[in-house]
Amino acid sequence: MPRTVLVTGATKGIGLALSRRLAAAGHEVIGLARGGLPGFPGTVVEVDLADAAATQAALDRLVAEGAIDAVVNNVGLVRPAPLGAVALADLAAVLDLNLRTAVQTAQAALPGMRARGWGRIVNVSSLTVLGIPDRTAYAAAKAGLVSFTRGWALELATAGVTVNAVAPGPTETELFRTGNPPGSPGEARYLAAVPMRRFGKPDEIAAAIAFLLSEDAAYITGQTLFVDGGASVGKAAI
């Protein structure tokens, strides 16, 4: 059955791969992003998600225009720094964009989901929640999404709404490559930690998200699925 799926950060990386996959399967995709993209497989609503008021206004318009069946909280912000160099402004910005937007999108879609007795929320977390240097803000934000996932799943378990998270390992996206260009020490460090000895492809992460959005995943809720080439194996789970 075709659904309407709202995807934040939809015009790049995992968000774009997911949007293309969903559109190919016959779903309507609404992307929230700072800029448009020629040929985007759906509707792009241009909004700066770092602006809470602008984000809320965009969401209010969308909900007034039609039902949103599923939400994918994919937008992310990384500002790496060792503990002694973490700027409080950067900490606030990273936590805000990753967590506040997830709350806003879920709140906007939730009344309609409850009314229809069907809904899906997928939060895009990260392998970094299991521990990595220089990611104080980002790892905390992504761990917060895992916590959201578990709490919301319990709240909505009888409402027909499932809530899950996907935690990618190192993935070939613009965001990842900005800090880890080919041949860099960062690239080598990440590769060494992945048993498959390669990085994930955005469409591989998108495939996992699409499954959790599907009818086939109706009995799965509150879970975090690591899609990471085996990098989480042997690490302490949360």
Active-site positions read 138
Query: Which of 73, 81, 80, 120 shows the shortest CA–CA distance to 98?
Result: 73
Spatial contact of 161 and 106, defined as CB atoms under 8 Å apart: no
